[in-house]
Chains A and B, each alone.
Chain A
Amino acid sequence: MNAEEAKKALSVYRSGDEVTSKVADALAYARANPQLTRWFTGKESFDRQMVDAVAGIPVPRDLRSRILGERKVVVLRPWWRQPVSYAAAALILGLVGLSGLLLVAQPKETFADYRKTVVDESWGRAPHLDLESSDMDEVNRWLAGIDSTAAPISIPAGLKDMTLHGSRTVDWKGQRVVCLCFLQGARHMHLFVTQDRSFVDAPRQAMPDYEKCNGWKTVSWTQGNRTYVLTGMNYITFLKKFRHSGHWVMDS
């Protein structure tokens, strides 16, 4: 082993790692070579300081409690992995069967269906807008022309600095859904707004629900009586815009 080989072996060695025969040889070589010993001591000292520096990155106090709190809401265990008795499983199956019958008799609106429909509509038509305008007042006037009883739409706070590109409407089960298109560079983002729906699986108030839908990332949330679905964004951009210091900021 020469100095260069010893240095190469030691450069990737970290105190506490397994000492392979190659590292052992390199350490032995270094002990007999003062210059290499100095280099290795300097490297070890540098690494120790960097370990301390990384370990010193402060972690927000409420992060742990928020993670644990969120689990209570999001955890979705497959039923077959839960410690239920066969009797309970049979009961659940029975209820599922009964629910199925009830669903056939009286179809309910599901948010998952709604989201799939609007995302399909969102990216499946060309041209994708009925009105091109960067003026929200003009968009609201245009929307009022279609449905004079509808309340004007306001842009959620986190999207107000985006460039509005235009709008269109989508019909879902007889009710108008408004689509607003925003531009961020070359990226198009579509925000679907519907109100007064009673989805059985609606996203929670001001708490976004992330889901991939037909290959598109979506974020959905409810604010007041409105339900929003945003597609086309990237999640980091969304988080930066709507989350500050661990709190969601999405009020209109």
Chain B
Amino acid sequence: MTVDDSTFEQIVNTHYQGLYRFAFTLAHSEAPAFDLTQETFRKFAIKAHQIDSASKVKTWLFTTLYREFIDTRRRESRSQPLDDTTYELESVAEADQAQKFDASLAREALMKIEETFRAPLVLFYLQDHSYREIAEILGLPLGTVMSRISRGRAMLRELLTDRSSSPVASLSVAAL
């Protein structure tokens, strides 16, 4: 697709906040999130002509940002494969309380979730992506995305429940 200045600006306006928020939750701080977002649009400015349809721009941007982040991370630490192909549903007793919590507390808890679960959760809560798009962005099967969102939500709930009486602790999959 051809991207003139006005189209580019329109695309930036539509997506830069979502991309930054996604980057922030991946990178945990402002400066790298700022740079990941900027780098994503820099690549877009150069490679936009390779995208064959305007409808693919959003997924291309988020995929590019995520790959840029993962690419650098992979060199630093080996990823630990997780067997998460099945759903783990919360018990009704755990989940039927209508929890109320502060937004900053929720973000703090979100940052404590393992990246494997955090990335699909954030894309889910950005509310701009279907499950299929999330799967495409993260390069995962649809079922795995659904499973990770479900399990990630359960982790968040647990963290936010714990938070009411004690500081947020890091939560591992094993703890579930």
Q: Is the CB of B98 within 8 A of A244?
A: no
Q: Is B60 an interface residue (CB 8 A)?
A: no
How many Å lie between the Cα of A16 and that of B107 in the bound state?
23
Interface string of B24-51 (1 = CB under 8 A from A): 1101001110111111011001100100
A12: contacting residue among B90, B92, B127, B131, CB under 8 A: B131
Q: Is the CB of B17 within 8 A of A234?
A: no
A74: contacting residue among B35, B42, B92, CB under 8 A: B42
**B146: A residues at CB distance < 8 A:** 12
Interface string of A218-242 (1 = CB under 8 A from B): 0000000000000000111101100
Q: Is the CB of B107 within 8 A of A53?
A: yes
Q: Is B52 an interface residue (CB 8 A)?
A: no
**B56: A residues at CB distance < 8 A:** none
**B89: A residues at CB distance < 8 A:** 4, 7-8, 11
- Beyond A14-B124, A54-B122, is A41–B98 a contact (Cβ under 8 Å)? yes
B106: contacting residue among A42, A50, A59, A77, CB under 8 A: A50
Q: Is B72 an interface residue (CB 8 A)?
A: yes
A81: contacting residue among B41, B45, B49, B125, CB under 8 A: B49
Q: Is the CB of A74 within 8 A of B12?
A: no
**A46: B residues at CB distance < 8 A:** 95, 98-99, 153, 156-157
Q: Which 4 A-B pairs rank lowest in CB-CB distance, beginning with the nearest?
A: A53-B106, A38-B96, A234-B72, A236-B72
Q: List 25 interface pairs A-B (beta carbons < 8 Å), by A numbering.
A: A11-B89, A12-B149, A12-B150, A38-B92, A39-B90, A42-B97, A42-B99, A45-B99, A49-B100, A49-B103, A50-B125, A51-B127, A53-B107, A54-B110, A57-B25, A59-B16, A59-B20, A63-B20, A70-B45, A78-B49, A81-B2, A235-B39, A236-B72, A239-B31, A240-B31
B: which residues have CB within 8 A of A? 2, 5, 8-9, 12-13, 16-17, 20-21, 24-25, 27, 30-32, 34-39, 41-42, 45-46, 49, 68-69, 71-73, 75-76, 87, 89-90, 92, 95-101, 103-104, 106-107, 110, 121-122, 124-127, 130-131, 146, 149-150, 153, 156-157
Extra contacts, 11 of them, besides A49-B106, A75-B8, A75-B45 (Cβ < 8 A), are: A45-B98, A50-B106, A53-B106, A67-B16, A67-B37, A68-B12, A70-B41, A76-B46, A234-B76, A235-B72, A237-B72
